[in-house]
Structure 1
């Protein structure tokens, strides 16, 4: 089992994590309803469960000691999902949600549309250009190896960006350098900005591609919190010699029926009526999930 979060006295239960993911989605929609510009809401909603399990269960981090050398590192390769990361970090205690709402997307704000480690302490890497995050994470993991450190480096990618050659160069480099301290998580929502993934790039057989490069592959339902927790619990030791990829099958726009798998909601904004409709749909989705447990 992975190390407990630095400030935690116990691990979150699956039910608690599900409640936190619902809170994260609610706050995402509320921000999307107050911000005048477009928010990448579709891919934020697809990754919300992954963000929750990483920040609230999987990663060894302390919001009150963000430079602790023993902390796990997190790189958001799909940088357009920054607002989801910000809110996940706010729920974890890094900063306030209200501060995000007040300044998101404004000039000189710490909460830009893509994350900037110079502007926002606690962010490990500035990202935005797709295909760059995993190479950065490989460098961080390799540096940790050279320093004799045993923390993990987590990297969240979108499946669309894995069409970039730089991703596969990083995949090969990670296995060649035996970086068992590296964990990639792929938000496999099967949609690009304006099309469905397989219409533009043939990814399948997707898990087999990662296996062919020598990675440990874990394939999960990215909206099943119990499966995500097991994936974290079953990670090989950080001292092992094979990096791990968790391929999380997700739905873009998850939880809001009129956004789910709808290409129009890659990015957008919500008026008052649409916000109310979205929150009602999300509440209904959460209630249905509880009934099925």
Structure 2
């Protein structure tokens, strides 16, 4: 494949809104298989993943290890259900495997493991390590003379990890303009709101002070998400780039959006079909 060619899937006429809806639906179907899963995060980050894989990333669905690909690193291992959904949508994983989610010998364990899953670049977790790995990958690509980008998706909870800020310093020091950090700010952790556990505010000022080009947008507004990706990729400076995406847990399923605890949202057995039916009502063209 020529170095500058994007995959056929990224050139199709399926709207990003429909891609995001498909990702949400696949995540719900996988959750139904196990009766559990990090559904809140998957529904919330679906718009960012749709823009990542069907607007920004260069990759070859037939060859997940193609040297000319951009690298997408999932620092948040428990978001694996969301990544599996977009890998299926992108044609990297066969949709027929959806029903094996979380089962013995499945290529889709409940927490992501790179050795099992085509298209998964790293094993994410313990949390806080993804950005450090991304810095190393970006440096390696620079030394190879590659113009490919490294995207690292991390959670707002990881902003409380010292290793994240060590990596941020290293990225700026080495002028890694091929590194884009995507931060899912849904303000939820296992013990409560991220802002109440350990606030990272003022967040944009911090990233800027660490030498990064930083933006913050509504992560569930596809136009804003696409514009942020474009601004990050086309920024003329030699510093790494960060995009903070404010997202809503369980986006697209209103009765789940209002649950008090959404980090690992409880979905009753009879609610999976209800969630899918509610999602169907909002199906885009």
TM, length-normalised to structure 1: 0.89
Aligned to 2:28: 29
2:50 corresponds to 1:52: yes
Q: Superposed, which structure 2 residues align to 1:136-175 within 5 Å?
A: 136-175=133-172
- How much does 1:107 deviate? 2.7
Does the alignment pair 1:250 with 2:266?
Answer: no
1:76 to 2:74 alignment: yes
Question: Equivalents in 2 of 1:251, 1:263: separation in Å?
Answer: 13
Partner Cα distance (1:280, 1:10) in 2: 28
Whole-angstrom distance in 2 between the partners of 1:131 and 1:82: 16
Q: How far has the Cα of 1:237 moved from its partner? A: 4.6
Give, in whole Å, the separation in 1 of the partners of 2:253 and 2:5. Answer: 31
Q: 2 CA distance for matches of 1:41 and 1:9?
A: 25
RMSD over equivalenced CA pairs, Å? 2.2
Report the secondary structure of 1:258's partner residue: helix
Alignment of 1:1-293 (within 5 A): 6-8=6-8, 11=11, 16-36=15-35, 38-101=36-99, 103-237=100-234, 240-260=237-257, 262-268=259-265, 270-284=267-281, 286=282
Which stretch has the larger CA shift, 239-248 or 162-171?
A: 239-248
- State the distance in 2 between where 1:10 and 1:53 align: 10
Name the SS for the 1:283 alignment partner: helix
- TM-score between the two structures when normalised by the length of structure 2: 0.91
State the distance in 2 between where 1:9 and 1:51 align: 14
Name structure 2 gaps, 5 residues minimum. Answer: none
Question: Would the aligned equivalents of 1:76 and 1:156 in 2 still touch at CA under 8 Å?
Answer: yes
CA pair 79-9 structure 1, distance change in 2 beyond 3 A: closer
Contact 1:32 1:270 in 2 (8 A): no
Compared CA separation, residues 84 and 264, structure 1 to 2 (3 A): same
Give the CA deviation at 1:9.
Answer: 8.2
Change (3 A) 1:121 1:159: same
Comparing 21-30 and 180-189, the one that deviates more: 21-30
Deviation of the 1:239 alpha carbon:
8.4
- 1:144–1:151: 8 Å Cα contact kept in structure 2? yes
1:144 and 1:237 mapped to 2: Cα distance?
A: 18
* Distance change in 2, residues 1:84/1:47 (3 Å): same
Give the CA deviation at 1:167.
Answer: 0.4
How far off is 1:136 after superposition? 0.6
